[in-house]
Amino acid sequence: MLFRKLGFFGVCALMGVTIFSLNNALANAQSVTEAATGSYAQINWFEALFLGLIQGLTEFLPISSTAHLTVIPQVFGWTKPGVAYIAVIQLGSIAAIIWYFWNDLSQITMGMLKAIKTKDYSSLEFKLALGIGLGTLPIIFLGLLVKIFVPDLDNSPLHSLTTIAIASIVMSLLLALAEKVGTHRRPFEKLRWQDGVVMGFAEAMAIIPGVSRSGSTLTAGLFINLERATAARFSFLLGIPAITLAGLVQLNDVFKAGFSGETVFPLVIGVISSAFFSYLAIAWLLKYLQKNNTWVFIWYRLAFGILILLSSFVKFS
């Protein structure tokens, strides 16, 4: 009961922060120059701490971290963090998820090696490892295509507020449908490698800001009748390779660009903040979904998208 109350008020609080001055979001966005876009040297310690908090809370809740990291800085008139900064501070989320699921990852790895050695390909560990491996391929492939054909992703229509709003609304409706039609009865022990492939294709949709990696994979898991907590748990495990690769690729770009005190500081603060709040979000969501459905996130995402569209309409009317 306590977790349920905390969950409701926590999501409401996050929504409140997003809604605050949302009618001014587009106006503030216009004042952020293209030169500042992605320039994390201009992010101060408080902004870095807050962005890490948003990253940590929204990376694993099914509400889209990229959407909130794009919208909230515009609401407050802050420097837009950019794709590179967002991807790097996601490494904090990866540290948190590896820490939280260390025993699971060790068991899956050792079980997979044992299954290969004994040719016991029906073991749960082997099926999980195979599912995670195959399920990671779609987002890698699509991510490479985007990197090749959309070099200036920060300023592309793909990162517009309209895209984020529409994606949020569509994904809220899909999650609602999954809640209605899924049986939510298949436990973690009944996972198959094919589940990884299905959820992997859903994960690839998260290339579009506003879709949410955890939201799309959780939705897919509910559609294939997984228990809610099982779908979330497998979604987290499936996300480890994809988020890690994205973060490392962007971190490599940061190394190539060179370091200075002004660039390192906001990255370090963001990563640490992201790690701390990611761990809290993971623990809370798994506990929450053991006894509750996802409707609080459905209504939140629907309202989030509608408010952005209304703000756009007011701005340009």
Which segments within the chain are labelled E, that is strand?
none
**Do 111 and 97 contact (CB within 8 A), yes or no?**
no
Distance (Å, rounded) from C-alpha 225 to C-alpha 76?
A: 40
Among residues 141, 174, 146, the alpha carbon closest in space to that of 242 is found at 141
Beta bridge partners of 226: 186
Q: Using the 8-state DSSP alphabet, how is residue 208 labeled?
A: S
In angstroms and rounded to an integer, the radius of gyration of the C-alpha atoms of the chain is: 19
Among residues 166, 273, 178, the alpha carbon closest in space to that of 216 is found at 178
Predicted pLDDT of residue 317 = 56
CA distances from 236 to 3, 39, 278, 313 (A): 20, 29, 11, 36
- pTM of the complete model: 0.84
Burial level of 283, CB count in 10 A (0-12/13-18/19+)?
A: middle
Predicted pLDDT of residue 77 = 87
Predicted pLDDT of residue 254 = 66
Angle at 68 between CA 201 and CA 217, to 5 degrees: 20
Predicted pLDDT of residue 128 = 97
pLDDT (tens digit per residue) in 236-285: 999 999 888 887 877 776 666 665 556 688 889 999 999 999 999 999 99
Q: Where are the alpha helices (DSSP H) in the chain?
A: 2-19, 25-31, 45-60, 65-76, 82-100, 102-118, 124-149, 161-181, 193-204, 213-223, 228-257, 261-289, 295-316
Domain span at 256: 2-316
Predicted pLDDT of residue 31 = 37
Domain count, the chain: 1
Q: Look at residue 316 and tell me whether its pLDDT is greater than 70.
A: no
Greater confidence (139 vs 37) lies with 139
